[in-house]
Amino acid sequence: MSKKTSQRRASHGSASPPWNRKDLLSNPARDYEVLTKDLEAHLLSFENLRETLSPNSTAEQFLDALRLAEAITRTIHTLGAYAYLWFSENTKAQAARAFKAKVEELQAGLANRMLFFDLWWQALDDANAGRLLAASGDYRYHLESIRRLKPHTLSEAEEKIINVKSVTGRQAVVGFYDILTSGLTYRLKLNGKTIRLSREELISYVRDPRASVRQAAYRELYRVFADNADVLSEMYKTLVIDWKQEHLGLRHHRSPIAVRNVLNDVPEEAVDSLLAVSANNTEVFQRYFKIKARLCGLKKMSRYHIYAPAREVPKTYTFKTASTMVRKAYRTFSPQMEALAARVLDERHVDAAIRPGKIGGAYCYSVLPGQTPYVLLNFKGDVRDIATLAHELGHAVHGMLAGDHSVFTFHSTLPLAETASVFGERILSDALMSEERDKTVRRSLLVQQLDDVYATVLRQAYFVRFEREAHRMIGEGGTMDDLCAIYLRDLRQQFGRAVAVPDEFRWEWLSIPHLFASPFYCYAYSFGNLLVLALYALYKSQGPSFVPRYLTLLAAGGSRAPEALLKDFGVDIRSENFWQAGFDTIKAMVAELEAAA
């Protein structure tokens, strides 16, 4: 087994060359100096607008101000992206951390100097705001979003203090979490030998064919997190209290999750419907895991084994093969999508290799309109890594299709941000299923699909349910033990009698980065996956005529509200019936598996 491990390392260690950060900055130290000088000149020009802004400002004056703001934003986004990409490559690299800190401080100062414009715009009377909105073109939704936040905006002085303190406060704590968790090491005993692993390497063993190895991998994962629980839980409590004090105490949001809903421009009713329907459909996955237990030869499913392979022959893929498979699948849906995905790969904007200190997981960073996005993976070579590549390239395609919009409107709002990525996975899964004739392999692919649907729908919804309770409890003085208890309670409720949940899973919440960095982010995954199930059903029924409509949805980026964009597809996100339709599709997948079992 240790030989197999070394082979894995060899294959994914050379998965692809390091990504090409020089497309952003060719020399970070020199370019920083040049760009910040240009920024200062633009900022001085922008600050001079303070005295000229009035309710009677002409449309052209207003647009000139927006264009100048966009130029400034493009520069700071470039610096911020470079800093985060560099940090992601190796969170232990002191030069990268220093550069990131310098850029974050610059961002805070810049935000403070430009703040007056947003405050002026929010305070403008409705009649003149309507007049200027009518002439604002692609900036319109961005401007509407600024005015939407008016009830939660503080004075200029208060906003400036929050911006400055965030650098050494919230941002710093999240950075510490990334540094600490990325540097953790694990030990796993295999074939009589103890090997030392990174988290990404360890996680690959939770899908090992051997039950004893899966169990050992999970126990080691949560042993290490338990050893660091005091520090990590204090980080979390600090972030939650910061969220409460700023957003409820100062900005007067109705609840902790309402902050995210307002930022996402999603009605609270829609999120409540999504979470309620998810909780009402736990039986779907409980039934699935009972079937999977039989397929895996287990008397009863345990949380140790929910990602067990269904008696399949393990296959390892090179990154080149994975890229070819994703491109081919994309091409069957849309040659345009395939061409855009190819750009990311051909321009060396992917970092796929596993390295010590590299940030875990995967992400896509769409930096600017018209610029090829960057994709980070930790590619181990299994079929799920191919799905991850399809997912992240979906994000990239989304950003490139929306490249005709302004820097303020090309990023889609969070609930729609997962649409293209999850749809990309679905295209890949469909392609693999259509090409496979062996019934056993097809059944295995269906199991993988259901594993992924569980992980990205119900699991994510329950993270958010936990967060709602955790924010309430910490606000009332709850302890780490209290949080662990409610997490374990919810996990056992989610799985019912179908899956045994050992006590060490009480520590799982400490290992979820989104809970720390982006409170209530995770419902976007549930939203995106259930939405894609509905959209993919439309594609299967409508065929090629669906494709241009779908690409138009992606090309809209963040230029309209999510609810408005989805109404074009007849989707009512406030309706529990809509969300239930997604679970009905999942039920059909489970029934198909049961028939094939």
Asked if the model's pLDDT at residue 14 lies above 50, the reply is no
Task: Give, to the nearest 10 degrees, the angle between helix 383-401 and helix 439-456.
Answer: 60
Each residue's pLDDT tens digit, 539-553: 989 999 999 999 999
- The closest alpha carbon to 589, from 482, 478, 452, belongs to 452
- The closest alpha carbon to 466, from 489, 448, 445, 444, belongs to 489
Bridging pattern class, strands 499-500 and 193-197: unpaired
Tell me the C-alpha to C-alpha distance, in Å, between residue 316 and each of 3, 204, 361.
14, 12, 19
DSSP 276-290: HHHHHTHHHHHHHHH
pLDDT (mean) for 323-332: 97
**Amino acid letter, residue 202:** L
**Amino acid letter, residue 419:** T
pTM here is: 0.86
Give 11's pLDDT tier (boundaries 50, 70, 90): very low
Number of Cβ within 10 Å of residue 394's Cβ equals 28
Give 576's pLDDT tier (boundaries 50, 70, 90): very high
Share of the chain above pLDDT 70, in %: 96
- The closest alpha carbon to 425, from 403, 456, 404, 470, belongs to 456
- Please tell me the predicted confidence (pLDDT) of residue 311: 66
Each residue's pLDDT tens digit, 223-254: 999 999 999 999 999 999 999 999 999 999 99
* Dihedral in degrees, nearest 10, Cα atoms 49, 54, 59, 61: -20
Q: Tell me how far the alpha carbon of residue 383 is from its chain's centroid.
A: 20
Spatial contact of 499 and 437, defined as CB atoms under 8 Å apart: no
- Please tell me the predicted confidence (pLDDT) of residue 569: 84
- Alpha-helical regions (H) of 410-542: 414-417, 419-435, 439-456, 458-475, 480-495, 513-517, 523-542
Which of 136-150, 332-346, 460-474, 564-578 is least confident?
564-578
- Alpha-carbon distance of 204 to 381, in angstroms, equals 10
- Please tell me the predicted confidence (pLDDT) of residue 439: 82
Side-chain half-sphere CA neighbours of 574 within 13 A: 8
- Please tell me the predicted confidence (pLDDT) of residue 316: 87
Q: Pick one of 1.20.1050.140, 3.30.930.10, 2.70.98.50, 1.20.140.70 as the CATH number of 21-173.
A: 1.20.140.70
- Alpha-carbon distance of 390 to 431, in angstroms, equals 12
Residue positions counted in the chain: 597
| Per-chain mean pLDDT for the chain | 93
Domain 319-456+528-559 part of CATH 3.50.50.100: no
- Please tell me the predicted confidence (pLDDT) of residue 3: 33
- Alpha-carbon distance of 373 to 396, in angstroms, equals 6
Tell me the C-alpha to C-alpha distance, in Å, between residue 427 and each of 23, 139, 394, 527, 534.
30, 33, 10, 18, 14
- The closest alpha carbon to 371, from 18, 6, 21, 1, belongs to 21
Rg, the chain, Cα only: 24
The residues that bridge with 188 in the sheet, in sequence order, are 195
The CA-based angle 106-111-117, given to 5 degrees, is 150
- Please tell me the predicted confidence (pLDDT) of residue 313: 60
- Please tell me the predicted confidence (pLDDT) of residue 17: 58
DSSP 130-147: HHHHHT-GGGHHHHHHHH
Share of the chain above pLDDT 90, in %: 86
- The closest alpha carbon to 202, from 8, 369, 341, belongs to 8
Spatial contact of 232 and 510, defined as CB atoms under 8 Å apart: yes
- Alpha-carbon distance of 258 to 221, in angstroms, equals 33
302 DSSP 8-state letter: E
The reply to whether 21-173 and 319-456+528-559 are identical in fold is no
